[in-house]
A and B are shown apart, each in its own frame.
Chain A
Amino acid sequence: MSMNTQGRPSRPLHTHDAGAYTDTFSGSRGLDQAEPLIFERGRVDVTGVDLPEPTGAALRIGGLERKAEIGLPGLAEPETMRHYVRLSRKNYAIDLGLYPLGSCTMKHNPRLNEKMARLPGFGDIHPLQPQSTVQGALELIGELARWLMVLTNTPCVAMSPKAGAHGELCGMMAIRAALDARGETGRRRVLVPESAHGTNPATAVQCGFFCDEIPADATGRVDMAAFKAKLGPDVAAIMLTNPNTCGLFERDIKEIADLIHEAGGYFYCDGANFNAIVGRVRPGDLGIDAMHINLHKTFSTPHGGGGPGSGPTVFSQALAPFVPVPYVVREGETWRLVEHEHEAEGQPFGRMVAFHGQMGMFTRALSYMMSHGSDGLRQAAEDAVLNANYVLARLRHVMTAAFDGTCMHEALFDDRFLKGTGVTTLDFAKAMIDEGYHPMTMYFPLVVHGAMLIEPTETESKASLDRFCDTLEGLALAAQAGEAERFTAAPRHAPAKRLDETRAARTPVLRWSPPAETPQAAE
């Protein structure tokens, strides 16, 4: 096979033109080593695995053999190892330091969970093996379901949703199915507070609903007068996040539940922030009809650079008949999978995904839950709330707290303290990178201007929080002292300097392409 990879990279690794500079010949900066793409380094005839030789017998694929070169480069095993280890070093991670990304809940990921998920009886079984050969796995799903139902005080849980947003879809589809079963085809309006996650409105629309926003009041919570005014016979549901995205508990939540039920609608709760209250408050006691639980957030399954997630969704009695397939049931000493709609007892709205959900996340989450126990989970929620309030208390004299009073598990600041400094929220965030921290969540929630949402989580020590608060205090004072350059030039100490996101969106380059045949001499 010919080699396809000896050309130029699709963009230069480093250049000396147009004012750009680099001070090394290799493009590396010490331990921060420049690493080309596999397409620039590998060759199509190199492989990093030893496989037996095929016998060369005739093919029986209907004459559809692929003939042309695919263009996939290979690397030998040591080259592969070095390539991905080098790349890994360009990432920030919770194992490296505090990751205060509000709403994302970056907490310690215990390695016991990884070990448990890799037991051959969980990691190496097929979803369509005979059920008699996977009784332990079905039991694990059943046991995790039990923990989730007890912690939320709900009678039913759908385990198959593959992520939080998929769980939202599951809950809202059950609501749609319940309304359809009642013959209520006119109920299509879903009330969504201004502070909702962007997935909430998108989810409602995918269920054939349209959204109607409820504003926030001066305390950062649902404006009750506005909410009441919007209730009517066409209201299908409210989608509320609790604790909400401002890091606050919705004080009127029980009244909201009662009012939406009286109006004939359902109460969907976005459970992304369940980690703030797990073991202390049961959402079922608050009157919710459906709520997804992000296992990766509350129960510490690692998020691997953006997934996988897992979003089991609990249901109230009213919605339980509509739970999707598949699910597990216990019959005496035997566990059984209900895989088809016609075997189900209620009126499931269908199947959301090919198999039974994120088994690998179930094992990790249950391992974490059993490690904590009922007492430890409660303590974890308390420490998460304590840590956030500590950050709020330590920083409110130099940064502006968005709201008065205490918070739940995340502290919300806004950009008023940067007014007139020439430093933007983004600049401030990039300066945190130079200090060795991942920036907080920015510009969200939308209800405050220049939002900075800090979630320390329960796995930070007091010493770690003190160092973090000292650093942020230093940055805030520097900004106010006119040291704008420190911020606008940031990050100075990162694998990359500030990246041109506009250019990426305007002229999208979404894949590597082989270099052109003739050199671009005209350039």
Chain B
Amino acid sequence: MRYLPLTPEDRKDMLETIGAPSVDALFADVPETARLKGPVDLPRRATELEVERAFTAMSSRNLSASTAPFFVGAGAYKHHVPATVDHLIQRSEFLTSYTPYQPEISQGTLQTLFEFQTQVALLTGTDVANASMYDGSTACAEAVLMACRITKRQRAVLSGNLHPHYAEATRTLAKYMDIEIEAAAPVPGGLDAVSDALTDDVACVVVQNPDVFGQVHDLRPLAEAAHAKGALLIAVFTEVVSLGLIESPGAMGADIVVGEGQSLGVGLQFGGPYVGLFACRDDRNFIRNLPGRLAGETVDADGRRGFVLTLSTREQHIRRDKATSNICTNSGLMALAFTIHMTLLGEAGLRTLARLNHERACEMADRLAALPGVEVLNSAFFNEITVRLPKPAAGVVEALAAKGILAGVPASRLYPGKGLDDLLILAATETNTDADLDALEAGLKEVL
């Protein structure tokens, strides 16, 4: 077996050193009846070539984003990732290392996490960020728990225009923690009534910007309303590139900012692994309640700057049943990919990229609005819009997929049974060519 270096001779010698008659003897503590006598009923080992063939066959049954006019968003976005990113994250020393428990030989990981934390804090307009979460949805759920710990209140209000999967992940995590979750009804292209639910016992209001329908909002009035009731404002984003063009959530008054960093460096990957971004105000109470890992700066015995994992007294391996969360890992490699891509872009590149995304979306909006029976619902948007079609969107998307065009996400897939069947959510990014827009326009003309 190519991954196992021991030879039969080695195994014999080693058993002799151990003083065991056979490998079976090493499993003596396993109850006799539970010991399998032979291999389980699965295929036997395959050569590298055989595995490649099997995988290529499965891969070829999928329509990959780069081979189609592609307008799917709603929480994950197709962007061009520079080749340098994928090369660097495949460096053995990054790819095959573990959690940096020994800082003296983990400065590579620790310094990049420190850079990541700083980039995320700057982007979100907050003071500090953690070293990443599983993804945007789990970051959102953990933010609600954190807000409840800080305010000592047990009620959270979610915007109806928050990505429904984020709302569901939040509801699941809160379910057995005696946290009451209330959600407003979705208002595609508009402002939902989340502020109406604000009362004195609300821990936090959770609002997404741009929201799941693509609409961009000024968060300031909501921040003021929340703060007036002693509640925190949690701002969520699913498209991090939008932060290169739109005023930051922190500057608009958000206390905790969470979101998905997949757009930078990570790629689509059918939904994971992604990278959750989590940032907040520099407040002792906030930092003590932050979930997840933190890299911090210090010095070594020679007085040279170095980095370590820090403030771990909040974490499960120290506080066990009193920990701020049960999370034990982060998305280290994806955070690295994010940081490298962000470093390549720099502020100038990010601003240009954001602008390009917006302009492509404007063009798409204009073209779709000109189609008979199609109505664009957004007055303000970044790179994603929602349109009303003259027939159910799910069928339209299927019909276009049959033509090799991936035309977006029917709102009914996210909000089944909510009467949003004729709505389609479409994203355009810098990767969309004029030919893509032509194909979308022509395809829609045919199937509508």
Contacts and interface: CB of A to CB of B under 8 A. Distances in A.
Contact of A44 (B216, B331, B348): B348
Interface in B228-281: 243-248, 251, 260, 267-274
A121 B336 contact: no
Contacts of B48: 112, 371
Interface stretch (B148-156, B199-207, B319-327, B437-445): B319-327
Nearest to A340: B416
Interface in A185-209: 197-199, 201-208
Nearest to A500: B298
Given A370-B43, A371-B45, A386-B6, A163 B270 contact: no
A101 B163 CA distance: 39
Interface in B265-307: 267-274, 287, 293-307
Nearest to B327: A165
B43 to A, nearest CB: 6
Interface in B381-417: 381-382, 397-398, 401-402, 406, 409, 413, 416-417
Interface stretch (A312-320, A477-485, A491-499): A491-499
B166 to A, nearest CB: 6
B359 interface: yes
Interface stretch (A222-230, A260-268, A279-287, A417-425): A279-287
A367 B113 CA distance: 29
Interface band, chain A: 35 or more
Contact of A511 (B103, B121, B305): B121
Given A92-B102, A354-B271, A462-B10, A367 B176 contact: no
A342 B59 contact: no
Interface in A339-386: 339-340, 342, 349-361, 363, 367, 369-376, 378-380, 382-383, 385-386
Given A121-B58, A380-B3, A459-B5, A74 B343 contact: yes
Contact of A208 (B88, B178, B315, B323): B178
A499 B299 contact: yes
Interface string A299-334: 010111111111000000000000010000000000
A118 B62 CA distance: 13
A262 to B, nearest CB: 18
B65 to A, nearest CB: 5
Contacts of A359: 269-272
Contact of B62 (A84, A137, A249, A279): A137
Most chain A CB within a 10 A radius of its CB, from B52, B293, B302, B335 = B302
Interface in A52-94: 52-55, 57, 59-75, 77, 80-81, 83-85, 87-94
Given A1-B348, A128-B74, 16 more contacts: A17-B303, A51-B356, A61-B245, A72-B347, A94-B96, A120-B64, A140-B58, A162-B135, A206-B177, A281-B27, A286-B34, A308-B332, A370-B50, A386-B11, A499-B299, A509-B297
B374 interface: no
Interface string A452-471: 00000011111010000000
A307 B100 contact: no
A136 B58 contact: yes
A15 interface: yes
A459 B5 CA distance: 6
Contact of A433 (B76, B93, B95, B105): B105
Interface in B153-168: 163, 165-166, 168
A382 B273 contact: no
B337 to A, nearest CB: 9
A374 B344 CA distance: 44
A499 B4 contact: no
A279 B40 CA distance: 6
Interface string A6-31: 00011111110111111000010000
A202 B268 contact: no
A95 B96 contact: yes
Interface string B353-388: 101101100100100000000000001111000000
11 contacts: A48-B344, A66-B248, A70-B347, A72-B347, A99-B98, A126-B270, A208-B177, A371-B48, A458-B3, A499-B306, A510-B296
A123 B268 contact: yes
A430 B104 CA distance: 9
Interface string B96-123: 1111111111111101111101110111
Nearest to B341: A49
A130 interface: yes
B227 interface: no
B17 A354 contact: no
B54, B334, B336, B346 — most chain A CB neighbours (10 Å): B346
B254 to A, nearest CB: 13
Nearest to B385: A60
B359 A279 contact: no
A358 B121 contact: no
B185 interface: no
